[in-house]
Structure 1
Amino acid sequence: MRTAYSVETVRAAERELMARLPEGTLMRRAAAGLAASCAGLLRRVYGARIVLLVGPGDNGGDALYAGARLARRGAGVTAVPMDPGRMHPGGLAALLGAGGRVASAVPGRADLVVDGLLGIGGRGGLRPAAAALVERIPPGAVVVAADLPSGVDADTGEVVGAAVRADVTVTFGAYKPGLLIDPGASRAGAVRLVDIGLTLPAPDAQALQHADVAGLLPEPGAASDKYRRGVVGIVAGSARYPGAAVLAVAGALRGGAGAVRYVGPAAVGEAVLARYPETLIGRGRVQAWVVGPGLGDERRAQVLEDPVPVLVDADGLRGLDPQALRARTAPTLLTPHAGEAAALLGVGREEVEAGRLASVRALAQRYGATVLLKGSTTLVCDGTAPVRVNPTGTPWLATAGSGDVLSGLAGSLLAAGLSGPDAASVAAYLHGLAARRAASGAPLHAHEVAEALPAAWRDVRTP
C-alpha cells in the first residue's frame, strides 16, 4: 500500500530524526536520492547540461547538493536562483566547489531541469519571480521536481495559478497527498520515493495496490451458494435511460455477489433480461441495494429504510436528506461526480474540482456516509480512516455509462460483505484497471469496461 502524509506529520518526523543525527544529514540523504534519480534519467551524466531552479529554502538546498554530486560526475550544472541573496549557503558552496556555476537567467538549452523552487510548505501557487523562471524552462528538457512540483499544495493537491509540470517527482521520506490527488497529481509525473529514515504514524491518505485489493476480494467457499455469497438489488433505469439499468446490472454481475435482483419499470426489466437472463426480477431479500443510475424522474424505491448497505448514485443523489442518512444503522455509500458533489454541498462545481480532498471529507462528514468522489482522481472517504486515493484508470473512462458499471460493481461487493470503504476502493481499483485493459490507448464504451472486469480481477489475484 502506498501511504501519504501531511506536511505537519512529515515535518514532525523530520524534527525528531534531525535531533538524533549530525546537522545536514537529512538534506544530504535527500540530495543523494535526487541526484541518483536524475542520473538515471540521462543517457549519460558526463557532459549533460543540467539547470537547477533554486528557491531560498531547504528545497533549494536539496537541489544544490544534488547538483554538486552531478557536477562531480562531469555534468555541466547551472544554478538559477529565484532570490540570489537567499541561496542555501552550504549547498551553494558545495555546487561551486564541484565546478558548478550560478547564472542570472535560465539557459536556452538543457537536458534536465531540477525544480527546487518551493518545498512542501509552499502555498498559493508560484510567486511572479518563480513563475518567470518556470516559463523559461527550455523545451525538450526533462523536468524533475525535488520533493513536490512547485506551486502544488502538498496536503491537498490544489493548484492556484502557475505551477511546475514535472516529468518525474523525487519525493523525500514519504508521499504527500498532493502527489496522489489531482490537480497536483497530474503535475507530478512519475513519482519516486527516497527513504531518508523517517518514522511515521498513521497516514492521512493511502492508495491500494494489487496485493491489498487481492486480500479484500470475496472468494466463495465449498459451502457457498448464491444467497450466502450475497444478493444485490438494483433500482435503476427508466423509459428515458434504460441502458443505465443494463450497465449497472453488468457491473453487479461481475462484482462477486451470488445474484443480482432488478427492481424497476417492466420494460426496462425486459431489456435487462434480454442481455442478462440470469438476473432476478422484482423485490425480494437482498444483502445490499444500488439505487439511482438512470432513474430520471422515476420515483426511487424506499430502499434507505431497508437495514442493509445502500449505494446511492446519479439521480438517486438528488434531494438526499443528511439527517435521514445519518440516522441509518446500515452503511451508506454515495458515489457522486464533481457536479453532483457540488449540489450535495451547495457549492460550485469548480470548487469541488479545485479542492477534491476537502470536498470528499466534507461530504462524508455532512451525510454520515462513505463517499466515493469520482473524477480524474477518485477518492474514498468515510470520515474517520485515511482517505483512499485510487491509482488506476484512464482518461478514456470519461464516457457515458461508466459510472453505472462502477455502481453495480461496488454494490455487489457490498452485498458480498465488504465494508463501505473497502467496497468503494476495490470497485474503483478494478474499474480503472478494466478500463485500461479495454481501452489500450483508444476510445471505449462502458459495456467494454464491464466485460473487462473478470480479466482485471484475475490480474489482481495473480501473484
Structure 2
Amino acid sequence: MRTAYSVETVRAAERELMARLAEGALMQRAAAGLAAACADLLGRVYGSRVVLLVGSGDNGGDALYAGARLARRGAGVTAVLLAPERTHGAGLAALRGAGGTVAGSGAAEELILRADLVVDGIVGIGGKGGLRPEAVPLAGYAADSRAAVVAVDLPSGIEADTGEVLGTAVRADLTVTFGTHKPGLLIDPGREYAGSVRLVDIGLELPEEAELEALQHADVAVRLPVPGAESDKYRRGVVGIAAGSARYPGAAVLAVSGALRGGAGAVRYVGPAADAVISRFPETLVSDQGPARAGRVQAWVVGPGVGDDASAVAQVLEADVSVLVDADGLRLADRSAVRARTAPTLMTPHAGEAAALLGVSRESVEAARLASARELALRYGATVLLKGSTTLVADPQGGAVRVNPTGTAWLATAGSGDVLSGLAGSLLAAGLSALDAGSVGAYLHGLAGRLAADGAPLGAHDVAAAIPEAWRDIRDALR
C-alpha cells in the first residue's frame, strides 16, 4: 500500500532524523536519489545539457547537489538562480566545484529551450498559492521546451497537502519525492502536474496513520471475497438493487451488471425496469413489492436512474443493512435520515452531485477534492466515494482517505457510475466494510476500464464485462 503524509508530519520526521545525522547528510541522500533518477531519464549523461531552476529553499539545495553529481559525470549543468542572495551556499559551491555554471533569470529562456533536462527546484513542499510572479515565466519556458522536466519532491506551485493548484505551477514529466508520497502527488489536479512519481527512501520514520492511502494489487487481493466449500448463494450475500425507471431502464441493467460480478451470491432487483433486467440477466431475483418487501438482503444499492421515486430511497435508508446511495438517490435522500442510520452507508457522488450536497460550485469541489470528500463524510456521517479523475474514499471517522490509482479517461462515459454502484454494493453484501467496498470497488472498476478500453472508446457494459478479467489479474498477485 502506498501512503502519503502531510507536510507537518514530514517536517517533524525530517527534524528527528537530522538530529541523528551529520549536518547535510539528509540533503545528500536526497540529492543522490535525485541525480540517479535524472541520469536514468537522460539515458546518456555525458554531453547532456541540464538546467537547474533554483529557489531559496532546501529543494534548491537538493537540485544544486544533484546537479554537481551530474556535472561530474560529464553533463553541462547551469543553475538559474531566482534568489541569488538566498541560494543554498554549500550546494552552490558543490556545483561550481564540479564544473557547473550559474546564470541569472534573464538567460533562462534560451538555456531552457536548448536543454535536455530541466530540474525544478524552485519551491518545496512548504510553498503556498502557486508560483511567485518571477518564477511564472520559467514554468512557461519549461512547458514550451523539448526538455524533460524533473520536479524535486513536488512540482513547484502545487499545494502539497491537497493537490490544489491555486495559480501557475510547473508541469513535470517525473517527480522525485523523498521519504514518502505527499497527498498532492496523488490527488488531481496536482497529480496531473506530477507526471510519473519516483519515491526515494531517505530513512524517515513515519507514524502508522497516514493522511492518504492508495491500495495496490496485493492490498485489493486480500480483501476480495472468496467463497468457501460450505458457501451457498445466500451465505455469500444478497445485494438489493433499487434503480431504474420508465425513463432510465438502462441504469437498472447496468447496476445489476456490476452487482452480478461483485462477489455477492445473488442479486435482487426492485423497480419498474424488471423486464429489461430479466431479459439481460435472467439470474436476477426480481420483485415489484418495493424495497421494504423485496426479501432479505445484506446490502442495498439505491438511486441509479430512479428519477423522482423518493419512496424507494426512504425505504432503503430505513433498512438495517449496509446501503450504497448513488445518482438520483443522493438528490432524494434526507440528510437526517442518512445521519440517523446505524448500519454502514456509502455515498458515491461525482463532483457535480457533491457540489449540490455541499451547496458550493462544481469547480470548487474539483479544485479541492480531498477537503470536499472529507467534508461530505463529516456532514452526512457516511463513507463518501467521490468519483472523478482521482476517486477518493473518505471515512466519517476521519481516518486516512483512500485514493484510487486505477482508471482511464475513457471511463467518463454514460452508465459507468451505475456499474460501479452495483459492484461496490455487491462487495458490501459480501461483507466488506464501506471503506473497503468503496476503495476495492473503485480499484476493480478502474482496472476493468483500462482493460476494456485498451486505448479506445468503450461503453459502460464493456466495463462490467471486463470485471472478471480485472478480478483474476488482482488475484494473481497472491500467487
Q: What range is the shorter-chain TM-score in?
A: over 0.9
Q: 2:411 aligns with which of 386, 397, 400?
A: 397
Q: 1:349 aligns with which of 362, 367, 372?
A: 362
- Distance in structure 1 (CA, Å) of the matches to 2:326 and 2:260: 18
Q: State the partner residue of 1:156.
A: 162
- Superimposed CA distance per residue, residues 197-230 of structure 1 (whole angstroms, 9 cap, x where no aligned partner): 0000021100000000000000000000000000
Deviation at 1:134, TM superposition (A): 1.5
Any residues of structure 2 matched to 1:439-450 within 5 Å, and which? 439-450=453-464
Q: Tell whether the 8 Å contact from 1:300 to 1:316 is kept in structure 2 after alignment.
A: no
Any residues of structure 2 matched to 1:30-41 within 5 Å, and which? 30-41=30-41
Q: Tell whether the 8 Å contact from 1:82 to 1:133 is kept in structure 2 after alignment.
A: no
Q: 1:321 aligns with which of 326, 330, 334?
A: 334
Other structure's SS at 1:136 match:
helix
Q: Tell whether the 8 Å contact from 2:184 to 2:191 is kept in structure 1 after alignment.
A: yes
Q: State the partner residue of 2:76.
A: 76
- Distance in structure 1 (CA, Å) of the matches to 2:389 and 2:377: 19
Q: State the partner residue of 2:261.
A: 254
- Superimposed CA distance per residue, residues 109-135 of structure 1 (whole angstroms, 9 cap, x where no aligned partner): 010000000100011101111112111
- Distance in structure 1 (CA, Å) of the matches to 2:46 and 2:188: 36
- Distance in structure 2 (CA, Å) of the matches to 1:65 and 1:203: 30
Deviation at 1:43, TM superposition (A): 2.5
Other structure's SS at 1:187 match:
helix
Deviation at 1:38, TM superposition (A): 0.2
Deviation at 1:296, TM superposition (A): 1.3
Other structure's SS at 2:37 match:
helix
What letter corresponds to residue 31 of structure 1 in structure 2? A
- Distance in structure 2 (CA, Å) of the matches to 1:167 and 1:133: 15
Q: Tell whether the 8 Å contact from 2:310 to 2:332 is kept in structure 1 after alignment.
A: no
Q: Tell whether the 8 Å contact from 2:310 to 2:333 is kept in structure 1 after alignment.
A: no
Q: State the partner residue of 1:293.
A: 304
In the alignment, does 2:251 pair up with 1:244?
Answer: yes
Q: State the partner residue of 1:168.
A: 174
Q: State the partner residue of 1:273.
A: 278
Other structure's SS at 2:304 match:
coil
- Distance in structure 1 (CA, Å) of the matches to 2:153 and 2:297: 48
- Distance in structure 1 (CA, Å) of the matches to 2:391 and 2:461: 20
- Distance in structure 2 (CA, Å) of the matches to 1:225 and 1:135: 61
Q: State the partner residue of 1:360.
A: 373
Q: 1:135 aligns with which of 109, 126, 140?
A: 140
Q: Tell whether the 8 Å contact from 2:52 to 2:78 is kept in structure 1 after alignment.
A: yes
In the alignment, does 2:393 pair up with 1:380?
Answer: yes
What letter corresponds to residue 267 of structure 2 in structure 1? V
What letter corresponds to residue 382 of structure 2 in structure 1? A
What letter corresponds to residue 298 of structure 2 in structure 1? Q
Other structure's SS at 2:468 match:
helix
Q: State the partner residue of 1:195.
A: 201
Deviation at 1:321, TM superposition (A): 2.8
Q: Which moved more, 1:115-124 or 1:319-328?
A: 319-328
Q: Tell whether the 8 Å contact from 1:322 to 1:368 is kept in structure 2 after alignment.
A: no
- Superimposed CA distance per residue, residues 225-284 of structure 1 (whole angstroms, 9 cap, x where no aligned partner): 00000000000001111100000000000000000000001xx10000000000000111
What letter corresponds to residue 346 of structure 1 in structure 2? G
- Superimposed CA distance per residue, residues 333-366 of structure 1 (whole angstroms, 9 cap, x where no aligned partner): 0000000000111111111000000000000000
Other structure's SS at 1:46 match:
coil
Any residues of structure 2 matched to 1:306-317 within 5 Å, and which? 306-317=319-330
What letter corresponds to residue 255 of structure 1 in structure 2? G
Q: State the partner residue of 1:229.
A: 236
Q: Identity, % of aligned pairs?
A: 76
- Distance in structure 2 (CA, Å) of the matches to 1:112 and 1:236: 53
Q: Which moved more, 1:83-92 or 1:364-373?
A: 83-92
Q: State the partner residue of 1:454.
A: 468
Q: Tell whether the 8 Å contact from 1:207 to 1:390 is kept in structure 2 after alignment.
A: yes
Q: Tell whether the 8 Å contact from 1:68 to 1:95 is kept in structure 2 after alignment.
A: yes
What letter corresponds to residue 358 of structure 1 in structure 2? A
Any residues of structure 2 matched to 1:411-422 within 5 Å, and which? 411-422=425-436
- Superimposed CA distance per residue, residues 63-98 of structure 1 (whole angstroms, 9 cap, x where no aligned partner): 000000000000000100112221110110000000
Q: 1:220 aligns with which of 208, 217, 227?
A: 227
Moved over 3 A (4+): none
- Distance in structure 2 (CA, Å) of the matches to 1:233 and 1:135: 53
TM-score by length of 1: 0.99
Q: Tell whether the 8 Å contact from 1:47 to 1:75 is kept in structure 2 after alignment.
A: yes
- Distance in structure 1 (CA, Å) of the matches to 2:29 and 2:40: 17
Q: Tell whether the 8 Å contact from 1:51 to 1:77 is kept in structure 2 after alignment.
A: yes
Q: 1:207 aligns with which of 191, 206, 214?
A: 214
- Distance in structure 2 (CA, Å) of the matches to 1:154 and 1:259: 44
Q: State the partner residue of 1:43.
A: 43
What letter corresponds to residue 270 of structure 1 in structure 2? D
Other structure's SS at 2:52 match:
strand
Q: State the partner residue of 2:290.
A: none
Could you tell me which runs of 5 or more consecutive residues in structure 1 were left unpaired when the two chains were aligned: none
Other structure's SS at 1:199 match:
coil
Q: Tell whether the 8 Å contact from 1:235 to 1:300 is kept in structure 2 after alignment.
A: no
- Superimposed CA distance per residue, residues 13-47 of structure 1 (whole angstroms, 9 cap, x where no aligned partner): 00001011111111100000000000001120000
- Distance in structure 1 (CA, Å) of the matches to 2:332 and 2:157: 37
- Distance in structure 2 (CA, Å) of the matches to 1:12 and 1:395: 37
- Distance in structure 2 (CA, Å) of the matches to 1:300 and 1:215: 38
Q: State the partner residue of 1:85.
A: 85
- Distance in structure 1 (CA, Å) of the matches to 2:447 and 2:426: 17
What letter corresponds to residue 117 of structure 2 in structure 1? L
- Distance in structure 2 (CA, Å) of the matches to 1:56 and 1:321: 52
What letter corresponds to residue 387 of structure 1 in structure 2? V
Q: Tell whether the 8 Å contact from 1:292 to 1:300 is kept in structure 2 after alignment.
A: no
Q: State the partner residue of 1:99.
A: 99
- Distance in structure 2 (CA, Å) of the matches to 1:120 and 1:321: 40
- Superimposed CA distance per residue, residues 353-389 of structure 1 (whole angstroms, 9 cap, x where no aligned partner): 0000000000000000000000000000113220000
Other structure's SS at 1:132 match:
helix
- Distance in structure 1 (CA, Å) of the matches to 2:33 and 2:172: 17
Q: Tell whether the 8 Å contact from 1:53 to 1:80 is kept in structure 2 after alignment.
A: yes
Deviation at 1:300, TM superposition (A): 4.1
